[in-house]
Amino acid sequence: MNNNKKVINFLPYILVISILLLLVTFGNGNATKVFNYNEFSASAEKMEFKDVRMSVGTTVVNIGGTYENNGKLENFTVSVPKTDENIQWLSDIFAKNKNTKVEVLDANRETFMEMFLKNFFPFLLLGGVAIFLFSKMNAGGSNKAFEFSKSRAKIEGNIKVRFKDVAGCDEEKEEVKEIIDYLKDPKRFTDMGARIPKGMLMVGPPGTGKTLLAKAVAGEADVPFFSISGSDFVEMFVGTGASRVRDMFKKAKQTAPCIVFIDEIDAVGRQRGAGMGGGNDEREQTLNQMLVEMDGMEENKGIVIIAATNRPDVLDPALLRSGRFDRQITVNLPDKKGRYEILKVHARNKKLSSEISLENLAKRTPGFSGADLENVLNEGAILAVRDKRKVITMADLDEAIDRVMMGPAKKSKKYTEQEKRLVAYHEAGHAVIGLKLKDADKVEKVTIIPRGQAGGYNLMTPQEEKMFPTKADFMAQITGLMGGRVAEDVMFNEISAGASNDIQKATKIAKAMVRSWGMSSLGPIQYDDGSGNVFLGRDYSSGSNYSGEIAYEIDKEIRKIINECYDKAKEIIEGNKDLLTLIAETLIEEETITSEQINNLVEYGSIHSPEEIKKQEEQNEDSNVENIQNAEEAKVAEEETVKETKEKAEVEKSFDDALKELTKHSEE
């Protein structure tokens, strides 16, 4: 089948090349000399003709053939007026040479079909090839000419994704189960007088599984799945987007029951009139048509619109009202249990070592989305293949987490000795705050190996994941962020630029505490609009919703929080200099230490516990005993070898003596 397609694709080129070759062959191959009547009448007496073909018409006589010119045969043609004198003259000239072969042709012998093929067929063939090439250039997919207004929605049937393939969003599954029940058995709902939601809007951070959940709904209901991106509606041609919306809904009605999934709907569903300089008329027309189509959908006709976005704050209010998108489902980042379930799903086809605990891995990855967790397992598998291991180890997954968070380790980047000590004490400062402050995050791993833009980092996880963190939690978090800068100040009486990211995070938290969460002396008043990301078209002209005096008070409160946390961090660091030095010096030597090793440092002053040291000593003793036994066995074996060698030499000597004695007797 593929070979036939290749031949068809090359067919136009083969035809064009063949026609060109024919033209070249017939045009230049024979070099025919065309005489006019005067030239021919003047030179005909001297020409030696070989072959002559005469076609006598009503007014002229067409003559063609060959003649000899300087020993070479050349073709010629000429038209002579038809008169009795000319015909007699031609007959005499051709009869003069006995070697001349004359053939008289009937002028009416050529049929109409022959004339047509001779005169018009080449032009028709060239025209057909040109049309064929033009059609091939404009064929294929969505680039066909005059098909700009057609919907680009991809229709998928027999979806394989099921709810078992989607983990970490149990509540969201419950919200969409009614849609599945309706698509399977709509009569139950219509008998009760219930109207199924026309549309559902899935909102959440990137990578949380919104698209996967929508596919799972189609898979569970076993209905066709239309998928399209919001950006596929808008084109440079005016009216194209609205036409595509109409075509998409038309196809959906023909395929009902079905699910229409619009990904990144904010690309077309943004607030109208919010564009700079008058807005985008084409996008707004597309949105208007979508609103009309969703209103025009009859109730309980088996069409469910599911849309996904990361920016619900920029969507037009008319799109979100009941009757269009009746239900809004928030797909948040998974908690520890959700991460564990997601890891189990993605670990199905992975060869994991028996030492790996997915539950512990879930504890170490707070804030990871489902896509991040899948990437962690995939990176771990790639590292195992790179190192030619048969299973994925915990070390592979540790490195994979670091890669997803910070990027690959820059092992070629070397510190100076002074920089290495500075980074070690900086990271040790974070670790000490995590160990000694009550509400601070737990230290999981500390490293001074550079990654990304960071010279080193601490992997710290919350003691327990909370839905509503308190002021004490935020204060402890800021204090932990200040730990690195404080350690530099206390130990070296110097500060570096390495704390810039810590300062940025701490300032962001302090601003939110004052402006959004009311955790300052300014009281429970929100001085922020709370919208998160700025929408330029809407927020460009909006002024501040507080006065200049309040802005000054806000700055004072933010500074107060940061200074209070800095002083708290300094108090802890100065009270635990020995622990700080111990962790930092261990980091300088080991470069990376884990939470278990840090706990051993706190309790025993060494990264190894007494049990580990004892076990290692026992292993060393066993190894020494085994080495002694092996040495003794080697010695005994050597003595036996020497003894065997001596005995063999004695036997050989006795044999030689006997042979000599026998030879002597023989000679006598």
* Per-residue model confidence as pLDDT tens digits over 150-195: 666 677 777 788 888 888 888 888 888 888 888 888 788 778 887 7
Average pLDDT over residues 224-241: 74
> Are 215 and 159 in contact, with CB atoms under 8 Å apart?
yes
Of the listed ranges 283-297, 408-422, 508-522, 611-625, the one predicted with least confidence: 611-625
Average pLDDT over residues 189-212: 84
Look up residue 565 and give its two tokens: 């946390």
- Residue 136's pLDDT is what? 60
Spell out the alpha helix ranges (H) of 407-444.
417-436
Q: Which of 293, 341, 427, 557 is catalytic?
A: 427
Separation between Cα atoms, residue 318 and residue 150, nearest integer Å: 25
Instruction: Indicate the pLDDT class of residue 29, thresholds 50, 70 and 90.
Output: very low
59 is in an annotated binding site: no
608 is in an annotated binding site: no
Peptide bond preceding 257 in cis form (omega within 30 of 0): yes
Instruction: Indicate the pLDDT class of residue 312, thresholds 50, 70 and 90.
Output: confident
- Residue 536's pLDDT is what? 47
> Are 237 and 284 in contact, with CB atoms under 8 Å apart?
no
Could you tell me how many helices (H) and strands (E) the chain has, helices first?
23, 14
Look up residue 226 and give its two tokens: 């239309």
32 is in an annotated binding site: no
211 is in an annotated binding site: yes
- Residue 639's pLDDT is what? 73
Q: In this structure, what are the phi and psi dihedrals at residue 129, rounded to the nearest 5 degrees?
A: -65, -40
> Are 451 and 402 in contact, with CB atoms under 8 Å apart?
yes
Residue 185 burial by Cβ neighbours in a 10 Å radius (0-12, 13-18, 19+):
exposed
Report residue 526 CA to chain centroid gap.
40
- Residue entry with tokens 């000899």: 68
Average pLDDT over residues 436-465: 79
Query: Active-site residue 626, yes or no?
Result: no
206 is in an annotated binding site: yes
Instruction: Indicate the pLDDT class of residue 553, thresholds 50, 70 and 90.
Output: very high
Residues, the chain: 668
Q: Which residue has the higher pLDDT, 391 or 274?
A: 391
210 is in an annotated binding site: yes
Residue 473 burial by Cβ neighbours in a 10 Å radius (0-12, 13-18, 19+):
middle
DSSP-based three-state secondary structure for 451: strand
313 is in an annotated binding site: no
Q: Spell out a b/e string for 32-55, using b for 16 or more CB atoms within 10 Å of the CB, else e.
A: eeebeeeebeeebeebebeebebb
- Residue 360's pLDDT is what? 86
Instruction: Indicate the pLDDT class of residue 278, thresholds 50, 70 and 90.
Output: very low
Specify the pTM. Answer: 0.65
Q: In this structure, what are the phi and psi dihedrals at residue 100, rounded to the nearest 5 degrees?
A: -80, 125
Mean pLDDT of the chain: 78
Among the listed residues 215, 217, 168, the one whose alpha carbon sits nearest the alpha carbon of residue 331: 168
Reported as a single tens digit per residue, the pLDDT across 367-416 is 888 889 999 999 999 999 998 889 998 888 888 888 888 877 776 666 77
Look up residue 40 and give its two tokens: 């021919």
Model confidence at 50: pLDDT above 70 = yes
Among the listed residues 629, 492, 450, 475, the one whose alpha carbon sits nearest the alpha carbon of residue 566: 475
407 is in an annotated binding site: no
Among the listed residues 469, 500, 462, 467, the one whose alpha carbon sits nearest the alpha carbon of residue 482: 500
Q: CA-based diameter of the chain, in Å?
A: 142
Separation between Cα atoms, residue 372 and residue 376, nearest integer Å: 6
Pairing between β-strand 457-461 and β-strand 199-203 as defined by DSSP bridges: unpaired
- Residue entry with tokens 């000239």: 93
Model confidence at 478: pLDDT above 90 = yes
532 is in an annotated binding site: no
